[in-house]
Amino acid sequence: MEKILNGKPVAKEIYQELKEKVAILYDKGIIPRLCIFKVGSDPASEYYVQSIQKRAKKIGVFVDVATYEDLAPQEELIDGIWKANKNPKIHGIMLQLPLPDQYDQNEVVLHIDPSKDIDGLHPMNAGKLILGQKCFVPCTPSAVMELLHYYKIPTKGARVVIIGRSTIVGLPLFNLLVQKKTGANATVTLCHSRSKNIQKISKEADILIVAIGKPKFVDHTYISSKSVVIDIGINEIYNTDAKTNIFVGDVFYQDVFSTVQAVTPVPGGIGTITTASLLKNVVEASQR
């Protein structure tokens, strides 16, 4: 196993497969199309949406972006989503999160057609995931599974510890890894902010997955020499030496590197695969 689990070769393989599938769809007169709903002008959201547009263009997927002002009524956003639901030329709908505080995110998500919910946010897709049924899987958990498969990291019977219980990463990842199928069958422990003895629990993990949104939270005291560490965090902090902002993960990469069996870098790890997983869902939706 490689020490540094780079996401780039994983994403490259996915994009190559998608190019071939999109070419077949074009021959059938089908143009895969994604509609992204974005509220406000958050720089991080802007960057992510632009990266999706850039990658999508390279493989032949069209992307429409519906942008709303911060103070736009929730009903206006929902109306836009309904129009996209009814448009047969739009195969995938993505709601860029987070939404401004005045929005009820759960309510908005309910209005997305589950068959176009390529981010796997709708309760119907979440429920199907728990039951092990075919559904759209949230893109970051899907990216983690793609990385495990690509690097042939065994999960059957493996002790997996996930730090973070969000509904878009931790919980769906838990449900994916415990499923009775190839590439899963793991013994999974889900830790969170109220968990006790997280360091002790984490040290016992064969695979440690960190998704808590705290820069450099996990250091060498959380890991062992057998640990494969997957860092999902992406945090912008100020670097006093470089006198500029830099991106770091939830794992203190330099502190754990000499001890772990393998680790994903930030940037260049899971985030690189996430966009590929999103577009994979769009192409799948257009094939239905």
pLDDT at 152: 97
For residue 62, the surrounding DSSP H or E stretch is: strand 62-68
pLDDT at 238: 87
Neighbours of 277 (CB within 10 A): 24
pLDDT value at 36 more than 90: yes
In order of 41, 102, 104, 108, 247, the CA distances from 73 in angstroms are: 16, 9, 11, 12, 33
pLDDT at 41: 85
Domains of the chain, with CATH numbers? 29-122 (3.40.50.10860), 139-271 (3.40.50.720)
> Long-range contacts for 104-109 (Cβ within 8 Å, ≥24 apart)?
104/74, 107/74, 108/74, 108/77, 108/78, 108/81
How high is the mean pLDDT of the chain?
96
- Tallying the residues shown for the chain, one arrives at 288
Q: How confident is the model at residue 212 (pLDDT cuts 50, 70, 90)?
A: very high
DSSP state of 275: H
In order of 76, 83, 91, 127, the CA distances from 86 in angstroms are: 16, 5, 10, 23
pLDDT tens digit sequence for 216-251: 999 999 999 999 999 999 888 888 887 898 889 999
pLDDT tens digit sequence for 113-144: 999 999 999 999 999 999 999 999 999 999 99
**Pair 91, 61: CB distance under 8 Å:** no
**Pair 61, 94: CB distance under 8 Å:** no
**Pair 90, 35: CB distance under 8 Å:** yes
**Pair 283, 22: CB distance under 8 Å:** yes
For residue 65, the surrounding DSSP H or E stretch is: strand 62-68
